[in-house]
Amino acid sequence: MRKLLYAGMIMIGLLASGCGSAEEPNAAKPAAADEHLTEPSETPYESGSATPEPGTPASPTSSVMATPTGPAKVDVAQTSLGTILVGTEGRTLYLFTEDKKDKSTCSAACAAAWPPALTLGTPQAGTGVNASMLGTLKREDGATQITYNKHPLYYYAKDQKAGDTAGQDVKDFSGEWYAVTPEGKKAKH
């Protein structure tokens, strides 16, 4: 009888600790309530935010954030900015004015908003890309980032598809961001 009473008290305690009403501000949400956070949304990053918002375009499942499975290819494309460098899925590649030659200064929240262009092995030059300007650097996390004319290259989370250039002339993370020309310079408006 004592064992049954003890087991009953444990069950009541467990049930009471796991229950909460919707009015309780600190009540735990079931895991299923957060499933929508992995779905893409139209809510972009606030520029320079320390914490990415749920469902941002450059989530870890985005092709620009995916771990490379081979050498990345850098191509050129005609955009509203003229001829510029593009990477995965024809997405615009950018340089960051705060970077030092062959050294990335963009990590953590910066790298979430401006994903580094990564490669596995030597990047490949498409037509119009100067192969001698292509290079790589090792990031703090061990990943290999593509460089062009010694500038580390990045994508922009707000760019959704090929041809988007929303990152052009953006002031973010204490520096400026520009699309890159085949000559290895900042693209002009």
For residues 74 and 83, give the distance between their C-alpha atoms in angstroms, rounded to a whole number: 13
What does the pLDDT look like over 33-80, one tens digit per residue?
A: 333 333 333 333 333 333 333 334 444 446 777 788 889 999 999 999
Distance of CA 69 to the CA centre of its chain: 17
For residues 24 and 118, give the distance between their C-alpha atoms in angstroms, rounded to a whole number: 45
Q: What percent of the chain has pLDDT over 90?
A: 60
Q: Tokens for 161? A: 């598809």
Regarding pTM above 0.85, the answer is no
Q: Within the chain, what is the greatest distance between any pair of CA atoms?
A: 85
Task: Give me the chain's average pLDDT, please.
Answer: 77
Mean pLDDT (whole number) for 82-101: 96
pLDDT score at 65: 72
